[in-house]
Amino acid sequence: MERRDHESVFTRSLQDPEGFWGEAAEAVHWYKKWDKVLDDSNKPFYRWFAGGEVNTCYNALDLHVENGRANQPALVYDSPVTETTKTFTYRELRDEVAAFAGALAAQGVSKGDRVIVYMPMVPGAVVAMLACARLGAVHSVVFGGFAANELAVRIDDAKPKVIVSASCGIEVNRVIPYKPLLDEAIDLAKNKPEKCIILQRPMEPAELTPGRDLDWDEAMRAATPHDCVPVLATDPLYILYTSGTTGEPKGVVRDNGGHIVALKWTMKNIYGVEPGEVYWAASDVGWVVGHSYIVYAPLFNGNTTVLYEGKPVGTPNAGAFWRVISEHKVSVMFTAPTAFRAIKKEDPDGEFIKKYDLSTFRLLFLAGERSDPDTLQWAEHHLGVPVIDHWWQTETGWSICANCLGIEQLPVKHGSPTRPVPGMDVRVVDADNREVKTGDIGALVIKLPLPPGTFPTLWNADDRFIESYLAEFPGYYKTADAGYIDEDGYVYVMSRTDDIINVAGHRLSTGGMEEVLAAHPDVAECAVIGVGDELKGQLPLGFLVLKAGVDRDHANIAQETVNMVRQKIGPVAAFKTATVVKRLPKTRSGKILRGTMQKIADGQEYKMPATIDDPAILDEIAVALKGVGYAKGT
Confidence check: pLDDT of 105 > 70: yes
The predicted pLDDT at position 499 comes to 64
Tell me 587's DSSP state: B
- pLDDT (average), residues 216-222: 98
Q: How far apart are CA 407 and CA 542, in angstroms?
A: 39
Weakest-pLDDT range from 20-24, 65-69, 239-243: 239-243
Cβ atoms within 10 Å of 572's Cβ, excluding its own: 12
- pLDDT (average), residues 554-577: 86
Q: Are 139 and 238 in contact (CB under 8 A)?
A: yes
Q: What is the mean pLDDT of the chain?
A: 92
Tell me 308's DSSP state: E
- pLDDT (average), residues 96-120: 98
- pLDDT (average), residues 3-23: 94
More confident residue, 434 or 2: 434
Confidence check: pLDDT of 553 > 60: yes
Confidence check: pLDDT of 389 > 80: yes
The predicted pLDDT at position 41 comes to 97
The predicted pLDDT at position 1 comes to 34
The helix/strand/coil state of 368 is coil
Is residue 2 very low, low, confident or very high in pLDDT (cuts 50, 70, 90)?
very low
- pLDDT (average), residues 313-334: 97
Task: Give the dihedral sign, CA 267/273/274/278.
Answer: negative
pTM: 0.85
494-541 pLDDT, tens digit each? 766 556 676 765 657 787 788 889 999 999 999 998 888 766 678 899
Confidence check: pLDDT of 632 > 60: no
User: Which one, of 116, 123, 163, 161, lies nearest residue 141 by Cα?
Assistant: 116
Is residue 602 very low, low, confident or very high in pLDDT (cuts 50, 70, 90)?
confident
The predicted pLDDT at position 633 comes to 45
Confidence check: pLDDT of 364 > 60: yes
The predicted pLDDT at position 634 comes to 44
Amino acid, res. 281 = A
128-169 pLDDT, tens digit each? 999 999 999 999 999 887 778 889 999 999 999 999 999 999
Q: How many residues does the chain have?
A: 634
15: CB partners within 8 A, 6+ apart: none
* pLDDT > 90 in the chain, percent: 75
Q: Can you say how many angstroms the Cα of residue 564 is from the centroid of all Cα atoms in its chain?
A: 32
The predicted pLDDT at position 159 comes to 97
Enumerate domains of the chain plus CATH numbers. Answer: 6-310+390-483 (3.40.50.12780), 508-627 (3.30.300.30)
- pLDDT (average), residues 405-434: 95
Confidence check: pLDDT of 298 > 70: yes
User: Which one, of 382, 381, 409, lies nearest residue 390 by Cα?
Assistant: 409
Residue 427: HSE in the Cβ half-sphere, 13 Å Cα cutoff: 18
User: Which one, of 374, 379, 378, 427, lies nearest residue 401 by Cα?
Assistant: 427
Confidence check: pLDDT of 573 > 90: no
Q: State the Rg of the chain over Cα.
A: 24
